[in-house]
Amino acid sequence: MQTQKKSDAKESPIQVKDLRKSFGAQRVLDGVTLTVQRGETLAVMGRSGTGKSVLLKLIIGLQTPDGGSICVTGEEMVGAGIDKKNEIRKKMGFLFQQAALYDSMTVLENVQFPLNRHTKISDEERQKRARELLAGVGMEKDLEKLPSQISGGMQKRVGLARALALEPEILLFDEPTAGLDPITAAEIGKLIVDLQKKHSITSVVVTHDVRGARAFAERVALLHEGKLVAEGTFAELHESKDPFVHQFLQNQETG
């Protein structure tokens, strides 16, 4: 049984089973089961307020589910102690919707922060590594500026560099292109694809942007009213007879 589980974990680093979460009377996730394959990019889509962001926060343990199980790289996240959770979190990177950079630290310090806390290398090496990570997302300048002094697109880049700092196996993106102009959004989208190719990271991307998702995601999971209504490639979804799936793709294409 144990070895079975281990080999499953190799193939699919994230396994979500029957996940439930309510806020008061509002049922946000109502029995969601989802598997993400190694190295793939899964786009989680749906209307606003259908618990997409909550799903990501449950996976990294920022919130606690009411029921169900979340297996990350073969280890159970639900009910794990803080130390155990932190061990699992080191294998994950999270890009927040508003980048969530530490506003009292410079760009460089932001990327160095996880390195300072979880690596045993010298300070010079950490700084070198942070500079490399920032160069990898196209941030060579403005490293001494504070987050409030750079643009939203640049903040997203820095957030991405920070998420990559501990060389995670898994990346979670919360609306990576929301609130950006179309050109910057496309750039960030391309960056995600490039990073995926380079590091072969498993990713889950929560997004509204169907066009963007087509560019970077291999599969789509569509949430509606707390339930998973469709899962598959874009081609498979287009074949779907479900009226909601149809409507969702249609509206997003034209609008």
Residues that bind other proteins (CB under 8 A): 57, 60-62, 82, 85-87, 89-90, 92, 94, 96-98, 100-103, 113-114, 117-118, 162, 165-166
- For residue 209, CA distances in Å to 106, 241, 251 come to 30, 22, 11
| Least separation in angstroms between CB 62 and other proteins | 5
Q: Looking at beta carbons only, is 103 or 140 nearer to other proteins?
A: 103
DSSP-assigned beta bridge partners for residue 170: 92, 202
Residue nearer to other proteins on the CB measure, 108 or 222: 108
> In the complex, what is the shortest distance from the CB of residue 138 to other proteins, in angstroms, rounded to a whole number?
21
Helices 107-118 and 152-163, interaxial angle, to 10°? Answer: 10
Quick one: 102 or 253, whose CB is closer to other proteins? 102
CB of 34 to other proteins, least distance (A): 19
Q: How far is the CB of 108 from other proteins (least distance, A)?
A: 16
* Choice between 19 and 165, CB closer to other proteins: 165
51, 34 contact by CB (below 8 A): no
Beta bridge partners of 113: none
| CA distances, 155 to each of 28, 161, 236, 244 (Å) | 29, 10, 35, 35
- For the chain, the distance separating the N- and C-terminal CA atoms, rounded to the nearest angstrom, is 48
Q: 149 or 250: whose CB is closer to other proteins?
A: 149
Measured distance CA(199)–CA(196) in Å, rounded: 5
Which one, 96 or 216, has the nearer CB to other proteins?
96
At 92, which helix (H) or strand (E)? strand 92-95
Cβ of residue 86: shortest distance to other proteins, in angstroms?
4
Minimum gap (Å) between residue 117 Cβ and other proteins? 5
